[in-house]
Structure 1
């Protein structure tokens, strides 16, 4: 196993999912993307995942996808692993995988196939082809149209470069059955929307690394929560959950697509605009933007009141 591959196989800590910035006319904004990456890197993430769900993979062209991955690899310059999202139909995902490897990515996050829902055998065939197209490590992402049976995951776990399962579905019984079926051969990552809310539950299954949307626009709160989580500081975790994460999740659930749009709105509120989201996502409504600003203020106030600060 190469050094690059092994970096993606042993992810730990707080995992960053930066946005993909666009100009006011909707074009890719790579200078802004690099500034955003600098801010994200300052938080010391265990890895950076670009062109994934938060990075609006589904709205990127093949050329834009490769440009984003290459820009991230060059800008991060080995400071932490850079993993790239791949998705869509099987042949599209294969093309993205090959392009990401050519651009220097350390690994891949294989997002669910777009729209189509297939049986376990079809999912296995899809991810086999993606894994066979690259030398990079591949992380499966369970959510949406890709909910795996334990047997399917056990079959995929036999493939050398499939190394982890990121879960965004939240069925703890299913995850335990998957762990039993695979003998723990795949690392498990908490990939729930607003993953901090589920951090303790996933830790019980051995998944202590998690993705944090808040890290992209509010690293002070994301970092404080992760430190409290690592230290077993339940008081600080409960405070941040009550003051920031629970209200954020409630706002997120008001409107489809807000899991991404709120991150970009949060960046704008904090003076680090990354431009609009692309359709079919929609920018945050004015009244929700005001609500988000208040939630951000509550989060920062909570951090200032904790020993972590």
Structure 2
């Protein structure tokens, strides 16, 4: 990690859950309280209305209310990104304009379901970038969208002045390294097991679901790496592996596993809550990490 690596939104970002009441409505007060805990726990910034934030099942009005509530809690000193994008370019543009009233940047997911070719993916991102004054973090998560944002496409998009960052869930470390070598884009890991490896080759940090429940523990390996204690960074990273595996690789979505560990209300259908066995396993791994 070089001292000159760009970090436009900070280094340690949380992909925040969206709290709901027991009846399933947005809970702005719980969102404010959770955001305050994240910042106190070492999160430099917060990403709202992303995958973990259940964006496909929240309305435009709820997304706006969530952004207002968290901004009121954390103030202007904490970068907030709002998730936009989806299968409909017009809807992405509408959400981008809406987010300008409070967000510091946009997390723009690649268009999903229709599986457009790369020329159309590029055109979609450019349409969003041209429609707003906010900087963009491209969100490459092919496991959910069904389409990559190929490295060559990212290289072309990097020429746009408002495309400044990437949240990388592609599991393509080589591709990320190639883009890092040829651009000034800030690469944020979106896959916790690659937080430290991507950081070590010049990444900006991470956007983490697991940080909802363990912000200090997720941050610790990067702090150690920056201090030159690479062996300690690897050790601390290894301590998180058990919880990361259960939260992110157990077959349950990260939203479900995070809410199983938090008093944040239900998940919205079609998601279903974690079963008792899964919840007990998560709690055990969480307590072991806190005790380590």
- TM, length-normalised to structure 1: 0.85
Say which SS state the counterpart of residue 153 (structure 2) adopts: helix
CA distances 1:64-118 after superposition (whole Å, capped 9, x unpaired):
11111122222221121111111212111111101000x2211101012232211
Deviation (angstroms), 1:217: 1.4
Contact 1:220/1:300 (CA < 8 Å) preserved in 2? no
Which residue of 2 is the match for residue 261 of structure 1? 256
Selected match of 1:281 from 238, 262, 271 = 271
1:202 aligns to 2:198 (yes or no): yes
Q: Following superposition of structure 1 onto structure 2, how do residues 21-100 of structure 1 map, counting pairs within 5 Å? A: 21-88=19-86, 89-100=88-99
Say which SS state the counterpart of residue 189 (structure 1) adopts: strand
Contact 2:134/2:162 (CA < 8 Å) preserved in 1? yes
Structure 2: runs of 5+ lacking an equivalent: 1-5
Deviation (angstroms), 1:212: 2.4
- The alignment of Structure 1 onto Structure 2 pairs a total of residues equal to 283
Deviation (angstroms), 1:236: 4.1
Which residue of 2 is the match for residue 4 of structure 1? none
Contact 1:87/1:113 (CA < 8 Å) preserved in 2? yes
Contact 1:243/1:298 (CA < 8 Å) preserved in 2? no
Counterparts of 2:82 and 2:132, CA distance in 1: 12
Contact 1:17/1:50 (CA < 8 Å) preserved in 2? yes
1:228 aligns to 2:229 (yes or no): no
Contact 2:45/2:78 (CA < 8 Å) preserved in 1? yes
Say which SS state the counterpart of residue 110 (structure 1) adopts: strand
Deviation (angstroms), 1:9: 6.5
CA 1:150–1:47: 2 relative to 1, 3 Å: same
Deviation (angstroms), 1:154: 2.2
* Deviating 4+ runs (over 6 angstroms): none
Deviation (angstroms), 1:61: 0.7
Say which SS state the counterpart of residue 108 (structure 1) adopts: strand
Say which SS state the counterpart of residue 17 (structure 2) adopts: coil
Which residue of 1 is the match for residue 241 of structure 2? 245
Which residue of 2 is the match for residue 214 of structure 1? 210
Say which SS state the counterpart of residue 251 (structure 2) adopts: coil
Which residue of 2 is the match for residue 292 of structure 1? 282
RMSD of aligned C-alpha atoms?
2.0
